[in-house]
């Protein structure tokens, strides 16, 4: 019985390590600095394009397991205003590649946060928001954002 438990613990440990390695490879797909081409926020199915002159977002190349809570550092900036600090992590959810973005700063508009399915399209990183729900003042709502980014060449 002791041998069986040791083997099961070893197998679970290997699966966790392999899972982290797969997720870690996803960071390499999105790390870097991007120009924000478009940002559309959806609330209860209605889209609202965010108006801005210039926007940038940066995804740090990091080891997820070494960072706080497995999260990596990031930031975004619109129209020369102060940078907004973010944290992010990536993972596979079935066949989807997902980036979860957590906004650590005050919720100044425009806001970038949530879960996004991501894909590269040439030089563009497409973040398709995954619908989430919440309530404020007793009113339930659904929300997500769609974002198109183009990689800046270093």
Cis peptide before 110 (omega within 30 of 0): yes
Contacts (Cβ under 8 Å, ≥6 apart) of 143: 41, 42, 43, 44, 114, 131, 132, 133, 134
Residues in the chain: 154
Q: 24: left (phi > 0), else alpha (psi -120 to 50), else beta?
A: alpha
2-151 maps to CATH 2.40.128: yes
pLDDT digit string (tens) for the chain, length 154 residues: 444 333 333 333 333 333 445 567 888 889 999 999 999 999 999 999 999 999 999 999 887 654 445 789 999 999 999 999 999 999 999 999 999 999 988 677 788 999 999 999 999 999 999 999 988 788 899 999 999 999 998 6
What is this structure's pTM? 0.78
């Amino acid at each position: 019985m002791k041998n069986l438990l040791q083997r099961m613990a070893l197998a679970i440990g290997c699966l966790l390590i392999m899972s982290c390695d797969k997720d870690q490879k996803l960071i390499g797909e999105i790390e870097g600095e991007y120009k924000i081409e478009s940002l559309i926020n959806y609330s209860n199915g209605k889209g609202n394009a965010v108006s801005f002159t210039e926007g940038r977002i940066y995804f740090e190349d990091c080891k997820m397991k070494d960072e706080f809570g497995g999260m990596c550092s990031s930031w975004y900036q619109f129209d020369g205003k102060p940078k907004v600090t973010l944290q992010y992590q990536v993972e596979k959810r079935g066949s989807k590649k997902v980036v979860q973005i957590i906004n650590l700063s005050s919720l100044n508009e425009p806001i970038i946060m949530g879960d996004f399915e991501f894909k590269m399209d040439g030089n563009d990183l497409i973040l398709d928001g995954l619908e989430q729900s919440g309530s404020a003042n007793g009113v339930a709502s659904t929300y997500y954002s769609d974002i198109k980014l183009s990689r800046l060449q270093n």
